[in-house]
Amino acid sequence: MEERPDAQKQILVEIAKKLPILTRAQSGAIRFCDRCQVLKPDRCHHCSVCETCVLKMDHHCPWVNNCVGFSNYKFFLLFLSYSMVYCVFIAATVFQYFLKFWGGELPNRPAKFHVLFLMFVALMFFVSLMFLFGYHCWLVAKNRSTLEAFSAPVFVNGPDRNGFNVGIRKNLQQVFGEDRRLWFIPVFTSQGNGHYFPLKNRNSESHNPLLANEDMWEESDDGSEEGSLVDDQDPSVTIEMEE
């Protein structure tokens, strides 16, 4: 209901103090989605195609007609790897007929051109997927999304492309989980809830009183999770506008 921009910013600042929000807009203001009317968690962006805010949004993929983000990033990487293996399988099984085609050993029928077409299509898709898969492997190793690779996330102390980079091993575990036996199986094993991500420089967390106390995010000695925000409650806040 507040119409003054300065007052609106102050309201967002007061709300953000109670949430695990460490990133800022390019102007330094709290990131707020005017369309969804919600504060954006870290690494969250609004997709104009899906018309919703997506947690840890990477990009909108027209091939799967969906946004790639926190909830399906592992499945997207597996989709690329499975597709590459499938292209190799097709090329390997067609290769013997491809050699016969060039040697003139195949019958002079229209079907022989199908072999040539299938061979080239499999190789072209494999090369394209190889570059795309390699690029996303590099992003996972750096703990960046495609959007963050082009525009560095802004923190209280300024932009930092490596703000979420906590090491290759932990970066991989954030996407694929700790159990390596499940890395190549299409089941959800990503860590976290998509609202909070550990930072490379933990000193930045002290700016937020909710993150200053590490005990709130770790299990107690008896195995309980009292006071933690991992599963007990959703730290997101919705602001409804009255007409």
Q: Is 61 noted as a catalytic residue in this protein?
A: yes
Mention every residue, 6+ apart, whose C-beta is less than 8 A from residue 196.
20, 41, 42, 211, 217, 229, 235
Listed residue (85, 55, 86, 84) closest to 72, CA to CA: 55
| CB of 200 closer than 8 Å to CB of 164 | yes
Q: Is 168 helix (H, G, I), strand (E, B) or coil?
A: helix
Q: Is 53 helix (H, G, I), strand (E, B) or coil?
A: strand
Long-range interactions of 56-60: CB distance < 8 A, separation 24+? 56/145, 56/194, 56/197, 57/145, 57/147, 58/139, 58/145, 58/146, 58/147, 59/145, 59/146, 59/147
| CB of 136 closer than 8 Å to CB of 80 | yes
Please report where in the chains the tokens 């590099």 appear, as a residue: 138
* Candidates 33, 47, 50, 61; catalytic one: 61
Two tokens, residue 35:
């369309």
Active site members? 61
